[in-house]
Structure 1
Amino acid sequence: MLTLYSYPKLFGVADNNGYGLKVYAFLKLTGVPFIHQNVFDASAAPRGQLPYIVDDGEVVGDSGTILVHLIRKYGLTIDTALTAAQRDTSHMITRMLDDLYWVMSYSRWQDEQYWPAFRDALLREHPRLTEQDLGKAQEFNSRRYYYQGIGRYVPADAYARGVADLEVLANLLAGGQYVHGPQPTSVDAAIYGFTANILFYPIETSLKRFAASQPELVRHCHAIHAAIA
């Protein structure tokens, strides 16, 4: 059976990382049977990054590549009805979520206003983790943020980037149940991966406050959350 390896669950969602939760939601929406293994150490993953899957002995990493693999291997029809223009829109949304990822991650691991609460939540929900484990992870992430660029922003400017991304998502979702109509497609799983990790986050970051003020984002997130329960 297919196994999904992704980061630990937190705050009521199956993975506290947007990319792993994206794959989890996609598998649930498409009905592909799988086992979910939550891990913290990514050293065994392709390119040292989670999530990844092991499917009949084949190891596939990167959330986007995983979805392509699953669609091809299992003949999934979740995106079959999309037009070329809709596929382009999905692609652009997916790339924008890559930008949102850095801001969301920054809010947890870098911003000293929120880092202690995030650290304590991980320790509380996952007793096998230690403060030393998380301290090393914070140092590693700080280096990533610096070289990516978001780590050179002051918090207000970093969150302005994330809020701008969330505002675009809210606008795209206005007036419809899902991005491309009445049924969810793979891009809806991707959006959920990030909005659930913001809206279910009990600490009032700037991202959480803005997302919670957008009815379309809240509606979409809870619709997917209920569909994959």
Structure 2
Amino acid sequence: MVTLYRFQHDPMRFCDSTYVNKLDALLTFSGLDAIKYESGKMSKAPRGKFPFIELDGVIIPDSELAYRSCIDKGIVECLDRRAGLSDKEAAISLSYRALVERNLEEIMGYERWMEHWYETRDKILGDIPALMRPVLAYWLIYRPTSAKYWHTEISRITPEERQRNLESHVRALAAIIPKAGYIMGKATPTRIDATIFGFLTSLIRSPELSPKMIAEVDKYPHIFEYRNRLASEFWPQRKLVN
């Protein structure tokens, strides 16, 4: 039994976090049925963030580290190995992952946490008492997040430049998502399917927090069709979106 800790209380719903949904997908795509879902407080999370798992009584943080631990213990088989990816295909998959986790995730995060700070704060951090939330969120989330975006330079460019970046990266995402089947063209999903599914599920769960990105993704209907197809295939018992 693997216990997956996340923000969402209801096991019949997906989560607002890209990486929680990604780890959920990695485990589920790998055929792991014995997943117990628990919600928890971020203050008790290792590294101060979700997701993390409990495996054989050991707490393991980070989606990649958690999945690797499940592979090493023989609980699941690596999706890429099972699908038979060649070294070249694995390298291509890794570059796709960078597109999502380095670029698109940052663009979405900036729109949420900087441009729609109050809405994001109150939705994502809603478990913090209302009187304490503004102060704690400012010092623990806003200041370090703002500094991060300054160092990565996304906050230094103009809104027009950010919009062009958004358009070009979503266009690239649309180019790699198929209208049928999985990203790498194999008979089974691979790790990049889990990565992209996690990102798109986070996006579609809270469209009001990322209206610019939603508007851009909606120009390519097959993107969310792909996400919904995976959700229906692997989680038929869950609510499709919310």
Is 2:75 the partner of 1:88? no
User: Residue 14 of structure 1 contacts residue 24 of structure 1 at CA under 8 Å; is this kept in 2?
Assistant: no
- Show the counterpart of 1:24: 24
- Paired residues for 1:200-211 under 5 Å: 200-203=205-208, 205-211=211-217
Structure 1: how far apart are the matches of 2:155 and 2:206? 21
What are the Cα deviations for residues 60-94 of structure 1, in whole angstroms up to 9, with x where unaligned?
32222222222332242532222222211211111
State the 1:188 CA deviation: 0.6
- Show the counterpart of 1:154: 158
Is 2:104 the partner of 1:98? no
State the 1:175 CA deviation: 4.6
Q: Which has the higher contact order (CA 8 A, sep 6+)?
A: 2
User: Residue 9 of structure 2 contacts residue 38 of structure 2 at CA under 8 Å; is this kept in 1?
Assistant: no
Unpaired runs of at least 5, structure 2: none
- Show the counterpart of 2:64: 64
Select which of 213, 219, 223 maps to 1:217: 223
Structure 2: how far apart are the matches of 1:38 and 1:163? 35
- Show the counterpart of 1:140: 144
Structure 2: how far apart are the matches of 1:162 and 1:7? 27
Corresponding residue SS for 2:189: coil
Corresponding residue SS for 2:155: helix
Structure 2: how far apart are the matches of 1:144 and 1:42? 20
Structure 2: how far apart are the matches of 1:134 and 1:115? 10
Is 2:197 the partner of 1:196? no
Structure 2: how far apart are the matches of 1:35 and 1:13? 13
- Count residues with an aligned counterpart: 223
Identity %: 22
User: How high is the TM-score relative to the length of structure 2?
Assistant: 0.79
RMSD between aligned residues:
2.7
User: How high is the TM-score relative to the length of structure 1?
Assistant: 0.83
Structure 1: how far apart are the matches of 2:50 and 2:164? 27
- Show the counterpart of 2:36: 35
Corresponding residue SS for 1:60: strand
Structure 2: how far apart are the matches of 1:209 and 1:9? 29
Unpaired runs of at least 5, structure 1: none
User: Residue 30 of structure 2 contacts residue 76 of structure 2 at CA under 8 Å; is this kept in 1?
Assistant: no
Structure 1: how far apart are the matches of 2:41 and 2:55? 20
Is 2:188 the partner of 1:183? yes
- Show the counterpart of 1:76: 77
Q: Read off the aligned partner of 1:19 and give its amino acid letter.
A: Y
Q: Read off the aligned partner of 1:157 and give its amino acid letter.
A: E
Structure 2: how far apart are the matches of 1:36 and 1:143? 33
Cα 1:190–1:25 shift into 2, 3 Å: same
State the 1:210 CA deviation: 1.0
Structure 2: how far apart are the matches of 1:42 and 1:63? 18
Q: Read off the aligned partner of 1:18 and give its amino acid letter.
A: T
State the 1:110 CA deviation: 0.5
Q: Read off the aligned partner of 1:158 and give its amino acid letter.
A: R
State the 1:116 CA deviation: 3.0
User: Residue 96 of structure 1 contacts residue 165 of structure 1 at CA under 8 Å; is this kept in 2?
Assistant: yes
